[in-house]
Amino acid sequence: MKKNSFYILGLITVFCIGFLLKPTESDSNHIHHYKTSENMRLGVFSVSLSVKDLQASKEFYEKLGFTQFAGSNEQNYLIMKNESTLIGLFQGMFEGNILTFNPGWDENAAELDSYDDIRAIQKHLKSKGVKLESEADENSSGPASLMLRDPDGNFILFDQHL
């Protein structure tokens, strides 16, 4: 299990090449904490698909109106975009598909003015009794991730880059 978690976390690092935004000191004012309401701000949502043939998958999603947004064939992943919808195509990187949320980002990998920090989201999930597969360090700040599974065993990744 831990091996899968580390593998998936490594995937996310690859997924974010080209997207990473380097935080500055002024960015520390943009870290927001989850409010007591039930509505968490999870950031942009995407689906990461494990594909057998990257080129065939790219061509298929282009027929649905998606265009390449990031990644490359050489890196074995492509991020495809149609308006605000994102799909990650990953060949040979992981098994199954992953639902991904990026707190702090919009669909263009641009920083949101206001967002819920991943540690606050984690605290809320734990308070609701959600079992986490991996956790963010609660004593840290900035980039972090956590993973969980839904009742059917699907991975859900929260991956904050700010």
**Percentage with pLDDT > 70 across the chain:** 77
**Percentage with pLDDT > 90 across the chain:** 72
Mean pLDDT value of segment 125-132: 97
User: Residue 39's pLDDT is what?
Assistant: 80
pLDDT tens-digit profile of 26-56? 444 445 554 444 688 999 999 999 999 999 9
92-115: buried (b, 16+ CB within 10 Å) or exposed (e) per residue?
Answer: ebbeebbebbbbbbebebebbeeb
The residue extents of the domains of the chain are: 2-6+42-160
Q: Which residue has the higher pLDDT, 101 or 2?
A: 101
| Inter-residue contact 48 to 90 (CB < 8 Å) | yes
- Looking at domain 2-6+42-160, which CATH architecture does it have? Roll (3.10)
pLDDT tens-digit profile of 79-123? 999 999 999 999 999 889 999 999 999 999 999 999 999 999 999
| Average pLDDT of every residue of the chain | 84
| Inter-residue contact 11 to 92 (CB < 8 Å) | no
